[in-house]
Amino acid sequence: MADLESTAQNITHCNHVGTMKTIHILHLEDNPEDANLIQTMVKRLDLACHFIWVDTKEKFENSITNPELNIILSDYALPHYNGLAALQYAKEKRPGLPFILLSGTIGEERAIELFKAGAADFITKNNLQRLAPTIKRAVEEVEEKNKRELAEKKLKANEVLFRQFAENIKEVFWRFSPDGNDVIYTSPAYEEIWGLPISGLDENPLAWYESILPEDKLKLNDFFSMAKANIASLEFEFRIQRPDKTIRTILSRASLLKENGQGIVGIIAIAVDITLRAEFRDKLQSSLEEKEAMLKEIYHRVKNNLQVVSSLLYMQAKSIPDPTSRDLFLESSARVKSMALVHEMLYQSGNLACIEMHNYLQNLTKYLVEIYHVNISRIKLFIKSETVSLGIDEAIPCSLIVNELISNAYKHAFPDEKPGQIQVRIERIKKNILLQVSDNGIGFPSQVDFNNTSTLGIQLVHALTKQLGGDIQLDTAHGTTFTLVFPVTQGDVSDEIQGVVNEDGSEVHL
């Protein structure tokens, strides 16, 4: 007993059992034997604990400020102090700590008084087997309560943060019911943009919708069926008329609000006033349409002028008896016509920036057949083309090159009514365009230096190739094959074409 009394103020430790954290217990008891008995009982019940034993009012009040405390055990009857007074003091200083009273027997009225004062439980000393589960339950309840309070604090903090955010942005933030017919929350920006009071949405939740111009209301059909159609997100633009009759353009984005990622509990949306942006966009679109119309008119007039020049040259050629002179006029007519075709296709196309080369080559070769009176049953022409589009700066020189090479083939490759074939091939390879004109005729004259000739047509081909920033090769192994490779834009032409081959399978080296 002397040893126990000499260590009465020391801290007693119990074994840590399982994964339960250590429970810190402030034990108010004036009888050392009872204190030792209670601590031993708790230890035998495998309750991981840490006791702080005190036996006077002063020690109790000094120890209650310990921040690690989880629970208070107190005897009811003490010299110059009692459990009710200790309970009242504890509730004042540490209202969240469970307070369990231990005593012999007290009357029913006294027990009721203790519970009214906030006691977590009352256990008689002859029934201490209830102590461990009572301590566990009391601590768990406190922890659960603390978790709830912490969650509530976080929720309230988030609500405050959300409201501060929503109430200080210029956009309208909404929360709707799943069917979109009821407005659960609207930020204050609604009054600024719609010009209507938020309170009006309580009486008429669709007041915001009724402000939309009739011709724009159909754009919101998907919004009201988002949840039913399981449309995850939606963006739509509409116009509203404010009470002052002004029109504003609104861009809104809506998303489904799901609970735990599954059940749909509503729709959230944000609405932005884009009136100034829409006005600028409309002006820009109008200006663009005017410029497109002007550009189309320019293409149309250039095409007409070139067509007139081509027709005059063709008519003049018909009146010249000398074949050599007549051919010069016909060649000039074809060259002008090839340029006119570019402007004509640009005028007819919805894209004024470029033309599709397959259709262009078909039109050009059809015209060449007509002016050179080619017998298409004797000389067949094939066009092998992928979807290749070129801008006007590339299309015109490319068209003139094709014109020269096909014209030469018609005039020189098949003498004495010899049959044959001409093939035009155009495709895109990486950042380059491959253009190939080949025939299976008598071949390019061996005595003529392709790279150094006085022939106007060939000189024109070289000049136009240089203008395109490309390179052209001649292959006479099987007839005549001209292979031109040039970059899509007038940029870096150092990229090599890998795997480009002639019709006979030989590789093109650039």
Give the bridge partners for 380, in sequence order: 421
Both tokens of 72, joined, read: 């208070």
Cα–Cα distance between 281 and 274 in angstroms, integer? 10
For 384-426, the pLDDT digits (tens) are 988 888 888 888 888 889 888 998 898 889 998 899 999 999 9
Question: Is 345 exposed, middle or buried, given 0-12, 13-18 or 19+ CB atoms closer than 10 A?
Answer: buried
Domain limits of the chain?
2-146, 169-273, 276-352, 356-510
Query: Could you say which architecture CATH assigns to the domain 356-510?
Result: 2-Layer Sandwich (3.30)
Please check whether residue 508 is in contact with residue 502, taking contact to mean a CB–CB distance below 8 angstroms: yes
User: For the domain 169-273, what is the CATH superfamily, name and number?
Assistant: PAS domain (3.30.450.20)
Query: Token match 């399982």: residue?
Result: 18
3-class SS shares of the chain: helix, strand, coil, % to 5? 45, 25, 30
Q: Which amino acid type is present at position 82?
A: N
For domain 2-146, the CATH architecture is: 3-Layer(aba) Sandwich (3.40)
Q: What percent of the chain has pLDDT over 70?
A: 88
Q: What is the pLDDT along the chain (510 residues), one digit of tens a residue?
A: 333 333 333 334 444 433 457 888 899 998 888 888 888 877 766 667 888 999 999 999 999 989 889 889 988 888 888 889 999 999 999 988 899 888 876 777 888 888 888 888 888 877 777 887 888 888 788 788 878 888 888 877 777 776 776 677 889 999 999 999 999 999 889 999 999 999 999 999 999 999 999 999 999 989 999 988 889 899 999 999 999 999 999 999 999 988 776 688 999 999 999 999 999 988 888 887 787 777 778 777 887 888 888 888 888 888 898 888 888 888 888 888 888 777 777 666 667 678 888 888 888 888 888 878 889 899 999 999 888 888 888 888 888 898 889 988 988 899 988 999 999 999 998 889 999 999 999 988 888 888 888 788 889 899 999 999 999 999 988 899 999 999 986 433 333 333 344 444 444 333
Beta strands in 387-479 (DSSP E): 389-391, 420-429, 432-439, 471-475
pLDDT at 46 (0 to 100)? 64
How far is Cα 210 from Cα 197, in angstroms, rounded to an integer?
14
Give the contacts of 336 (CB within 8 A, at least 6 positions apart): 306, 309, 310, 313
| Cα atoms in the Cβ-side hemisphere of radius 13 Å centred on 147 | 6
